[in-house]
Amino acid sequence: MNETRDGSHRASNTPSPPPIPPGQPAQAVPSAHLESTSPAPPVAPVSPTGLLIIDKQPGFTSMDVCAIIRARLRRAGAPKGVKVGHGGTLDPLATGVLVVLIGKATRLCDQVMATRKTYVTTIDLSRLSTTDDEAGECTPIDPALRATREDIERILPRFIGTIDQRPPAYSAINVGGRRSYELAREGTPIKLASRKVDIHGIRVEAFDWPKLSIVVECGKGVYIRSLARDVGAALGVGGMLSSLRRTESGQFSIEQAARLDQLPDKLTQADLLPLPSSP
C-alpha cells in the first residue's frame, strides 16, 4: 500500500518484495524493483587535421615517416583510420622538407606536390651507378676523363626550362602493373619513356673535382638522380647523386621542419600546423 498526500492509503501496482526471514542473508533486489538505466554511447575519437613539416633523415622512406606519425597520432587517441599522406616523395637516401598532411589536410596532397621545390645536391662526376645514386652498383670512370668549372657552366643552361627527362629505372613508376624498381631488381631491362618536366633554375654552389654541388629549383615530377646522370653524360664523364637535401617545398622551408626524434611520442591536434590558405 502507498500513502497519499492526505494520509489515506491506496493499493500499489508494484508488488512488495517478500520479507527476509530472520537469520537469512539479504538477497539482491529483483530487477523489477530497480530503475532501468542505459549506458551512455561511447564517444567516437575526433580525427585531427593539419600539417607537420618534417626534416626527413636518411634511411626512411616517405611512407615510413607517414606510418610513424600515424602511430603517434593513434597513441594520443586519434581514430584507427586517421588519414596521413605526404606532399612529394623523397628517396630513402635523401633528407629535408617532407610536408605531411593529416586528416582533412590530405585533400591538399596534389596541390602540395604541384608546388615548386628547391634542392641542394652533390653529384659525383667520377662514377656511374645502376640506380643513379649511392644505393646502386657503382662503377668508376676512366681517371683520365675530367671536366672543368667552365665546362659545367657551359652545359647547365640546357637543363633549364621545360625539358625531356627519362626517369631512373629504379623508381616507383608503374610498368604493366608493377613498380619499375621491382622489375629492375629482377634484372629485367628497363628504359622508361622520357617525360616533360620543368626546371626553373640551376646554380653551382661548389665544385672540387669530382664533386659538383648545385642548387636546383624545379616543378613536380623532376628526378634529381636523372639530372645528375644527364649532367655527367653532357660533360662526357660520370654522373651519380651522392647527396640530396630538399630545402623548400612550396611555402614551407627547412627552417620550419623538425626531425621525427624532436616530435612528441603522442601527437595531438595541438602539435599540428593549421591548414594554409594556399599550399
Walk along the chain (279 residues) and give the pLDDT tens digit of each residue: 444 444 444 444 555 555 555 555 555 545 544 455 666 666 667 789 999 999 999 999 999 999 999 999 999 999 999 999 999 999 999 999 999 999 999 999 999 999 999 999 999 999 999 999 999 999 999 999 999 999 999 999 999 999 999 998 888 788 888 888 888 888 877 788 899 999 999 999 999 999 999 999 999 999 999 999 999 999 999 999 999 999 999 999 999 999 999 999 999 999 999 988 777
Grid cell for residue 260? 621525427
Grid cell for residue 192? 622508361
| Torsion, CA 134, CA 135, CA 137, CA 143, rounded to 10 | 0
**DSSP 3-state of 180:** helix
Q: Determine which one of 91, 124, 132, 271 is catalytic.
A: 91
What structural domains does the chain harbor? 47-114+250-279 (3.30.2350.10), 116-249 (3.30.2350.10)
pTM score: 0.81
Q: Cell 627552417 belongs to which residue?
A: 255
Residues contacting 134, CB < 8 A, separation 6+ = 93, 240, 241, 242
Tell me if residue 110 is catalytic: no
203-236: string of b/e by CB count within 10 Å (b at 16+)? eeeebeebebbbebbbbeebbbbbbbbbbbebbe
Tell me, what amino acid is at 43? V
